[in-house]
Amino acid sequence: MPLVKPKKNLGQHFLQNEDIARQIAESISTAPENVLEIGPGMGVLTKYLINHHYPHFKVVEIDRESVDYLEQHYPDLQGNILSQDFLRLNLDTIFSNNLTIIGNFPYNISSQILFKVLDYKYLVNEVVGMFQKEVAERVAASPGHKQYGIISVLLQAFYDIEYLFTVDEQQFFPPPKVKSAVIRLIKNPEKELHCSEKLFRQVVKTAFNQRRKTLRNSLHQFGFSADYKQNPIFSKRPEQLSIQEFEEICTNIIM
């Protein structure tokens, strides 16, 4: 039985399998200067990260009981525990570059964590995280799959994403009602948008918010030339489009 009581409102499910914790820690594939673990809980993953002796390693934990436990059991973390809400954290004030984010992410904020990564993509080079399996599949999905959606396109526009492995419910306390999965995101310096990122996000979100409609119907609010409106791309639905095709649409919008 855990020494820290899992809190439902924080989406806490403590990983208990040491081998899986070790696997997650070893899934960092770059050589980061800075590593931030989100939601360490009682440190099952933390202990393996400490052993890697990263130049700058910090953890962020919103649960005061978990913070107290970490302070008592992991003296190496002294001065490196951020007792805060990650979603409210200004990463620029803590890290300067080459940041890797890792963790068994609370499922109730996992998508918000990824959108925050997008906002700090100039700083975040790699993400290794445990997610609800459905979310992991959505992030890693390719065009043509039903899981392919807003978060798939926006993240894959900048990161190479790999689905690493699935984790059974019984590896946690308390067991979640769904399976989990670990994925890895690595920033690809060759991936860059050739259009306004704000417009790109707007087009992607508008298209997928009406995903059953063809783009001719869902994107009618945007202005296109008469010639471009004849493009076969408008007969497609959003899940059929590659990132490059979304980008092409954006470059042809008349502002």
Return the C-alpha torsion angle 190, 193, 194, 196, nearest 10.
-160
Indicate the residue among 132, 159, 187 that finishes a domain.
Answer: 187
Examine the domain organization and report whether 63 and 14 are in the same domain.
yes
Report whether 113 contacts 39 (CB < 8 A): no
What CATH number does residue 43 fall under? 3.40.50.150
Residues constituting the chain = 255
Examine the domain organization and report whether 210 and 116 are in the same domain.
no
Examine the domain organization and report whether 210 and 247 are in the same domain.
yes
The answer to the question of residue 173 being in a domain is yes
Q: Which residues, at least 6 apart from 6, have a Cβ–Cβ distance to it below 8 Å?
A: 12, 13, 14, 173, 174
Question: What tens digit of pLDDT does each residue of 52-95 get?
Answer: 999 999 999 999 999 999 999 999 999 999 999 999 999 999 99
Return the C-alpha torsion angle 109, 181, 114, 121, nearest 10.
150
The answer to the question of residue 126 being in a domain is yes
Report whether 15 contacts 104 (CB < 8 A): yes
Beta bridge partners of 60: 38, 82
Report whether 247 contacts 200 (CB < 8 A): yes
Question: What tens digit of pLDDT does each residue of 216-239 get?
Answer: 999 999 999 999 999 999 999 999
Q: What is the pLDDT of residue 1?
A: 45
Alpha helices by DSSP H, listed for the chain, are 18-25, 46-50, 64-73, 110-119, 133-140, 150-156, 197-208, 215-218, 243-251
Question: What tens digit of pLDDT does each residue of 184-222 get?
Answer: 999 998 888 999 999 999 999 999 999 999 999 999 999
Residue written as token pair 């005061």: 64
Q: Which residues, at least 6 apart from 81, have a Cβ–Cβ distance to it below 8 Å?
A: 58, 59, 60, 61, 67, 70, 71
Examine the domain organization and report whether 74 and 176 are in the same domain.
yes
Query: How many structural domains is the chain composed of?
Result: 2
Question: What tens digit of pLDDT does each residue of 3-45 get?
Answer: 888 778 877 788 999 999 999 999 999 889 999 999 999 999 9
Query: Rounded distance, CA 70 to CA 173, Å?
Result: 18
Q: Which residues, at least 6 apart from 8, have a Cβ–Cβ distance to it below 8 Å?
A: none
The answer to the question of residue 136 being in a domain is yes
Indicate the residue among 161, 187, 213 that finishes a domain.
Answer: 187
The answer to the question of residue 140 being in a domain is yes
The answer to the question of residue 32 being in a domain is yes
Question: What tens digit of pLDDT does each residue of 124-134 get?
Answer: 999 999 999 99
The answer to the question of residue 86 being in a domain is yes
Domain that holds residue 24: 8-187
Query: Rounded distance, CA 193 to CA 190, Å?
Result: 10
